[in-house]
Structure 1
């Protein structure tokens, strides 16, 4: 439904609430997003242009996102945990003509603007800071354009590539009239039961695809978003009870942290309003999922998908209990398991996971990566391995060969290796994920020291500091081990499988 229609139906209904008391009604969201759209048009930012959003979890994030969406532009959320250079690269690569920031990250935004001359204007949702103009003041300077044609824009997420450099995921999108909605918004209604009576808890950062997409989808279906600034297990349970949450979305790390609360503390909260607990982003350990179902009942729904929108599988609790470990059957597109020769494999055999009949996409400024994700039959892959059983349920074997998923966040080894390999004490390095009972995986660097360099604990600490100066904290190794020589082919290709076998324990 069009946001203006929702605001007309229930103007005072909360669209977004935060536990600290901040509330954004549908009328306020409709007005604020229209003002942002008018501001963009007044500055010449038109259909298919790009803007960037650098904000922590706050109502203003969704105001700007919906303003961009009703102005027909691509909007890119920027991870504010990135270093200044990393964040500036994303803004520059997507060609953002405008940057919207919150006061908490205004210093980072100011530096990004200074280093990106393509950013024509920048606004902060608060008082003027670090050279950024107040958003309220900018929108007051623009006359409302009630006759403007509203075009449905779309998000433009970034995900690191195999080289470690972030890659923009350009979705297939026809820019229809605003109110048409995005595919995820229709899927949420049809497959997950979202509607006007839905209250959705978002405990994860909005700069990630699922939290942003599902929060907007809740609003576009007329529901209310309960937005947490950060995840805390006890605060999360309290919010679910206080706001009578009907739908919540987590990653397995969140499950682990909630389950580690004392049983008597978990029992204090009335969670009977919950209808659906959705999880994705990382494989969920079987014992963790059993414990969650035992606690909350058969309300867990798992999905497997990617920001690319190539396809989607869904598994209900009943599906999963009958097929433990599955990520479900196809809900969007058709799943194919393909061998190295391109032929489809029978049930039970592991191969590459491909989708047909799903959404289209390309990787921004990377035609080679785009071509590698598609085949001559029109199928697309996220690069993962898995198998189907006889009933068509999908099981993941590996979430991309090299990918590390720590706490539901993708971490790419090549980026960390690139940061370490130039250290004078490092001759060679390989980065792998190792099992972690809470985070799912943690980052381990296996380092071959330069000849004559002692592999000491002090050197390991120095290498971690070296990484922290160059990378966001969540990408830095949690452990470093040393080896006399890393296994490589004569061509120079690293035999990462052997590194995992030797050093993953």
Structure 2
């Protein structure tokens, strides 16, 4: 029986991971049994447990299990190995970590003594995608599959389960745990309505999740897709042509992506791009990192008016949203407030500035979205608050006369050179327009005369030849002379998260060793 025949035999929505097809009802049954197993290990209401797994159905099972016993899932970036992982496992006070077998030694090296391990067998699609070969269980810890087999579902479910604690990527320091209040049952319908508007999800459709489930956007998208009665296709990792194949094969209606994926899609040869039928797509949403305008326009030209964008964060969900049509009418925008959300641009004295003037972006999320704090650091939460429900995620930007928001840069990334504010994103977008450039990071470095000067670290396309002078000349032709990088360095690969976020901290610290 081939893949499509197996899917036709299924009634109701399914979760697809590689060649595995699992009815959502069966996945939730397995999650309920796992929940009982975790409770036997001492995980109860309000307790946190970590999930360090690559994309597969088991990660969803572990996430859903938490909600049934009132526990708090803490997704872990499985790339982390050292201080970042040690910080999360300690800071979160997780009682248990659910982890793929091949990652167990990494966890063992960093975990607090009290933390218990539950091991998950590596499924075939993950082993194949990451070239892991045959991964045998360590035999040292309980296996998740055994807990599922040995237990019955809980007799009762928690009426108002906690939301997961998501650790932000830590681009300027150790990651922060975002502790969100539970979603009140009477608000669930409002949240679902917001998600329909933001990511185009609808009952009966099929969503593709190509980004890691340890990030907020794909995590929320996946769990709500299933809650809304959708089928779900999880990609173990993103591959440009494989994404097109998945959309065409499963007649996907929606996908949640990041701009770096768009860049990789646009690099595909024209014959590959034309090979797959993408006509089923109704909405392809993106967020998490700035999208260069040329890339955005090229994607709209290719996919049609299905590309939408939203702005927000782990803390407050989506604050703004814009369709393809709105973006074409307001090029460069990240959208206008969604639902009853609101945006204010505040100056240094925290007073609101007029439309068109740049300042720090403060948002008040939709009223249905729960409040939050930073785990163990209420002071950090208070520091970003401007009152009346408004707080900042650390971005700089402006709104136009129509109320559309435009981001200039991260406040931490702004460079002050000779008393002039310089926003690196503008320079990065310009350098990306130079033939042969695959990626670029622009940031401030110490300068005896001006306080800060600009450095550009550039990643080239394979076989491309670009010189330092060509980078500088290209910037000078398109921007003011004071925005030309003083230092140009070519890198084999820039340090980006799978979410598209760039770790400028890792590049800066070689110039600012005392500050990072």
Matches within 5 A, 1:263-274: 263-274=270-281
The residue that corresponds to 1:322 in the other structure is: 329
- Counterparts of 1:243 and 1:122 in 2: how far apart (Å)? 33
Q: Which of 384, 391, 397 does residue 395 from structure 2 map onto?
A: 384
Inter-CA distance 289–107: structure 2 relative to 1 (3 Å threshold) = same
Report if the CA contact (8 A) 2:335-2:405 is conserved.
yes
Root-mean-square deviation (CA, aligned residues, Å) is 3.5
Q: Quote the offset at 1:480 in angstroms.
A: 8.6
Maintained 8 Å contact 2:206/2:233: yes
CA contact (8 A) 2:32 2:152 kept: no
How far 1:135 moved relative to its partner? 1.0
Length, aligned pairs only: 429
Note if 1:123 corresponds to 2:119.
yes
Alignment of structure 1 residues 141-156 onto 2, 5 Å: 141-156=150-165
Q: Give yes or no for contact 2:13–2:204 (8 Å, CA) kept in 1.
A: no
Q: Distance in 2 between matches of 1:376 and 1:188?
A: 26
- Report how far residue 394 of structure 1 moved: 0.5
Question: Matched residue of 1:369: which SS?
Answer: helix
Q: Encode CA deviations 1:20-71: one digit per residue, 9 max, x unaligned.
A: 3112212211211111222233333222210100000111000110111222
- Identify the residue that residue 167 of structure 2 maps to in structure 1: 158
Q: Distance in 2 between matches of 1:313 and 1:153?
A: 25
Structure 1: distance between partners of 2:509 and 2:313: 32
Normalising by structure 1, we get a TM-score of: 0.76
Contact 2:171 2:504 in 1 (8 A): no
Partner SS state of residue 140, structure 2 = coil
Q: Aligned in 2, Cα 1:46/1:385: closer, same or farther, shift over 3 Å?
A: same
Q: Does 1:238 align with 2:238?
A: no
Contact 1:58–1:229 (Cα < 8 Å) also in 2: yes
Task: Tell whether the 8 Å contact from 1:347 to 1:389 is kept in structure 2 after alignment.
Answer: yes
Q: How far is the alpha carbon of 1:129 from its aligned partner? A: 1.8
Q: Could you report, residue by residue, the CA deviation over 1:178-237 in whole angstroms, capped at 9, with x for unpaired residues?
A: x97497544223544422222111111111111111111111111111111111111111
Question: How many angstroms apart in 2 are the aligned matches of 1:267 and 1:161?
Answer: 39
Which residue pairs with 2:40 in the alignment? 42
| CA 264–257 in structure 1, closer or farther in 2 if over 3 Å, else same | same
User: Is residue 443–residue 479 contact of structure 1 (8 Å, CA) maintained in 2?
Assistant: no
The 8 Å contact of residues 184 and 214 in structure 1, kept in 2 or not, is answered as: no
- Distance between the aligned counterparts of 1:102 and 1:30, measured in 2? 20
Unaligned stretches of 5+ in structure 1? 1-9, 405-431, 449-460, 468-473, 497-505
Q: Do the aligned residues in 2 keep the contact of 1:279 with 1:301 (CA within 8 Å)?
A: yes
1:52 aligns with 2:53: no
Conserved? CA contact 1:353–1:383, under 8 Å = yes
1:76–1:156 CA contact under 8 A, matched in 2: yes
Q: Using the alignment, how far apart are the partners of 2:113 and 2:239 within structure 1?
A: 39
Shift of 1:130: 6.1
Shift of 1:83: 1.6
